[in-house]
Amino acid sequence: MSASDAAPESSKAATDAAARKDRTLAEFLLMLDDFKPLIPSEVTDYYLQRVGFDCEDERLKRLLALAAQKFVSDIAADAYSHARIRSGGARSKAGGAATKIKTVLTMDDLTAALAEYGVNAKKPEYYL
């Protein structure tokens, strides 16, 4: 096989990969037609309007709502992890059986989780 034979094969592979990505994106956008995000569309529209984003495509708005939902979910999961670490995964023994103690999320847990994403949520040292 010569170098000139390898070039058409590599360009064909690149074209096939691009076509596959386009099909995957098209299928994903079709799935967004039936998707109902947890964040109401009115809330999404309000915040998009506040930042100056004007778009009539509902699928794009649903995609942004899905991204926001994922962001909030990740922060909640990280805050829960911080709370579990803080409490040491404590278990109590009542009546010989090990039972789980409820995990309580605090503002410190949320602040630590938000700090991982670059969001500063610390309260000021003093109150007026």
Please write the tens of the pLDDT for every residue from 29-60: 888 888 888 999 999 999 999 999 998 888 88
| Mean pLDDT (whole number) for 54-72 | 91
Distance CA 113, CA 72 (A): 11
Please write the tens of the pLDDT for every residue from 72-108: 999 999 999 999 998 886 555 555 556 678 888 999 9
E strands, 28-125, are: 91-94, 97-100
Residue 82 CB-half CA count within 13 A = 18
Q: SS3 for 97?
A: strand
pLDDT value of position 123: 76
Calculate helix-pair angle for 41-50, 58-87, nearest 10 degrees.
100
Distance in angstroms between the alpha carbons of the first and the last residue of the chain:
78
E strands, the chain, are: 91-94, 97-100
Distance CA 116, CA 14 (A): 37
- pTM to 2 decimals? 0.68
